[in-house]
Structure 1
């Protein structure tokens, strides 16, 4: 019965969203709002419906809740609620401030000036330095180990060294700057190469793309390269002032990319690969909600800000406690902990519940929607330059923050990295203009 109630709520509350997206975007094409909604549908809502249906009761992640119908139902209700609030709040704010088709698809004249290119080239140089540094400290990386035929367990352990314990082997900020630039630089050069009929920019676009792909695959993570490819296509389309239509061909290509990456890094057994992908995409990203609701019983929250490493805990010197993502893995999936895992992430409402209870569940999606709108408002007001378009494409493929934690919406280290990159860009652009002005006055 619970499954049919959730299915009914999905149809009457979320199905209209597709028609709203089509009206706002001029069709079913990819932009910030449609990408957010599609990621929510694929990585969260579909998982909630599958879990409540009973079809995946044999899944390793679902087994702890097979006899807890109330947990499965409430988890599904939480999932539907946040989808409804975020999407309709964001859509309403867009309409209220008169943003629509032209804004979402950047139907404005592209501006490419010499000072912008100078700043972009400086950032590319910084990216190359970061790339060399990351390759050096991560050697042998999971990617290198996979190509030389090392066993899967050794590759997995090395991946943990680089992702979980990176601070022990290198400077995390240098790597983080390089990681963000691995998206922004290729996207910006793709846009420039479509408007500057100069072989130099085409070479820069191809070279930066190759470096970025190697950089992102270096850790052995699969998802980043899939989203990177989506952003690259989106930047190419925006450079032509065309929309990125979501077609069966595009879906097939991305599906094949995912299978290929799993085939390289995980297993050559196709049946095992498909089972792992299904479990990883539809179930693993969703299960934290059920763990959180089952484990934390205080309706007003049990943790508060104490588990969030953010600006509030730093200002008020709050003593940190174990984050719910780590606590839940220890309680429900000790086997994963023994194999090197350290937490389970999921759609942010699990952390809103564990930290702030029902108030967190009710208010958290409004915070997510408002932060998303503020970003869109700022980016739509900026000049239509390759760098800013690249920032937009980067943001579009990183809306999946909501699949990790609620803490990220209070404070995220990427915010600092993002700000540093923007500062360097603006400073170098201003410096170039000042130098040119001084030379012209002499």
Structure 2
């Protein structure tokens, strides 16, 4: 009963602080911070943490705990700590930056879409056409270097396990992983959003045609390995794009309709990909899609807390980005992979086990203990809120809006994926450098063109 009371108090306090930091938690106007609250914390972490603390989870991962009663409580208090400290840090950042979330987010929604400053239509189109050709080449490279494309195997029929094919496609990729992850899997969907926004802004057929080609490529890279979540997140990003430019207005009826369609598609994917046909699996709170949402993401946090410092030694930075560990000739390891290998070694042996991703503080703990949880929570909260403030204050053009929507979905996903990605994420760094550099280059080109035009006019008049 005490756990329930603590859970309710934490829920109310956390909700109020998240609403202040976000400006609104309305489902009709989602934003980066509200998605973090609903998806990363409430749905993926906090509900499941209470069930585990109460011993009501009956979940296969939690059965692997030793001294379960002790670590059920430790895990619950760690998640409750994050639920309070994370939004509190965001509120402090907002106050220090003079950020009025409600007013600034509302103003951003009402602001019209604008073109890139200083650039001509042809310059912009050919620049993004070149990037699009690069992403198509990366997709071809990904297909070439992947042993078996799971979606092709599904369409043509195969006797192999689709789950095993998924792991093989990910872990046995024979090419450069950064080329695949950045230029194919990440860049293609992002370019499709940019092309869509330019098509809406200019109404030019060339942008519409480019968008169609990029859309096909984006759908492929989101379903090629039969992972269930990427295509859903891609669709969510499209909805956000349309909400932010005023093309879509959500209502309770629309939300119910879209949710029903999404649930039906998800059930279909479970049936086709994983062969699940038992109806009780879909209705059970600890199995199937529901169990995947409320327990599968948070249960590994309890395993991390239980294993590291007990059965496994602390990593002391070994799971930091490989670019950092390589400087000290230290082998890079991810805590989520170590936990999978320790708890479910049979899955590693038969090729169906990957990693047990979970709330970011688990990896912080695996490296630096409880100090890592405190510092990691503060650091990630500050980074998240600064990104939110920064994007709301940038010009609302197709490039920056697409990046804003990309981070609005991928920050929440990364929060339940790991901690070290917030220290150095090559994909994020390259995207910001690439599109920031492109915006700067186009701006300089426009300024130089204006300067030469002014100088020529002065010369002619003289």
TM-score > 0.5, shorter chain as reference: yes
Say which is worse superposed, 28-37 or 246-255, in terms of deviation: 246-255
State the shift of 1:323 in Å: 3.5
Shift of residue 395, structure 1, vs aligned partner: 0.5
- Separation of aligned partners in 1, 2:226 and 2:376: 32
Q: Secondary structure at the match of 2:359?
A: coil
Which residue of 295, 313, 319 maps to 1:283? Answer: 295
User: What is the aligned partner in structure 1 of residue 246 from structure 2?
Assistant: 240
Q: 1:144 to 1:350 in 2, by over 3 A?
A: same
CA separation in 2, counterparts of 1:390 and 1:31? 13
Name the residue aligned to 2:222.
Answer: 216
Which region of structure 1 is more displaced relative to structure 2, 12-21 or 203-212? 12-21
Correspondence 1:266-277 to 2 at 5 A: 266-267=274-275, 269=277, 271=279, 274=282, 275-277=287-289
Give the counterpart of 1:403 among 416, 428, 431.
Answer: 416
Paired residues of 1:48 and 1:75 also in contact (CA < 8 A): yes
Question: Residues of 2 paired with 1:321 and 1:387: CA distance?
Answer: 34
Question: Which residue number corresponds to residue 427 of structure 2?
Answer: 414
TM-score, scaled to structure 1: 0.87
The number of equivalent residue pairs is: 435
Change beyond 3 A, Cα 1:42–1:339: farther
Relative to structure 1, the CA distance from residue 6 to residue 192 in structure 2 (aligned partners, 3 Å threshold; closer, same or farther) is same
Q: Give the drift of 1:319.
A: 2.0
Deviations 1:137-175 (A, max 9, x none): 33630011111221351x323322221232xx1122221
How far apart, CA to CA, are the structure 2 residues paired with 1:428 and 1:123?
15
C-alpha displacement at 1:270, in angstroms? 5.2
- Pair 28,293 (structure 1): closer, same or farther in 2 beyond 3 Å: same
Compare 275-284 and 358-367 and name the one that shifted more: 275-284
Partner of 2:460: none
Q: Residues 321 and 140 (structure 1 numbering): CA distance in 2 closer, same or farther, change over 3 Å?
A: closer
TM-superposition CA deviations, 1:6-62 (whole Å, max 9, x none)? 4334334334357547854677521111111111211111221222233322x2212
SS of the residue corresponding to residue 307 of structure 1 reads coil
Aligned residue in 2 for 1:194: 200
1:157 aligns with 2:158: no
Within a 5 Å distance, the mapping from 1:7-156 to structure 2 comes to 7-17=7-17, 20=20, 23-24=23-24, 28-39=28-39, 40-57=41-58, 59-65=59-65, 68-96=68-96, 97-101=98-102, 103-104=104-105, 106=108, 107-113=110-116, 114=121, 115-138=123-146, 140-151=148-159, 153=161, 155-156=162-163
Q: Distance in 1 between matches of 2:127 and 2:246?
A: 23
Partners of 2:44 and 2:344 lie apart in 1 by 20
Deviation at 1:235, TM superposition (A): 0.7
Rg larger for: 2
Task: Tell me the equivalent position of 1:170.
Answer: 175
Does the 8 Å CA contact 2:132/2:191 hold for their aligned counterparts?
yes
* Shift in CA distance, 430/98, structure 1 to aligned 2, threshold 3 Å: closer
Gapped regions of structure 2 (runs ≥ 5): 458-462
TM-superposition CA deviations, 1:334-353 (whole Å, max 9, x none): 23223322432111111121
User: Would you say the 8 A contact 2:45–2:294 is kept in 1?
Assistant: yes
Contact kept in structure 1, 2:305 and 2:365, CA below 8 Å: yes
TM-superposed deviation, 1:186: 1.6
2:263 aligned with 1:259, yes or no? Answer: no
Deviation at 1:217, TM superposition (A): 0.5
TM-score normalised by L of structure 2: 0.84
SS in 2 for 1:195: helix
> What's 2:344 paired with?
333
Given candidates 201, 205, 210, the residue that maps to 1:204 is: 210
How far did 1:117 drift? 3.5
Separation in 2, partners of 1:56, 1:27:
28
Q: Deviations over 1:189-224 (max 9, x none)?
A: 222232323344333333322220111111111111
CA RMSD of aligned residues (A): 3.1
Q: Relative to structure 1, is the Cα distance of residues 165 and 425 closer, same or farther in structure 2, using a 3 angstrom cutoff?
A: farther
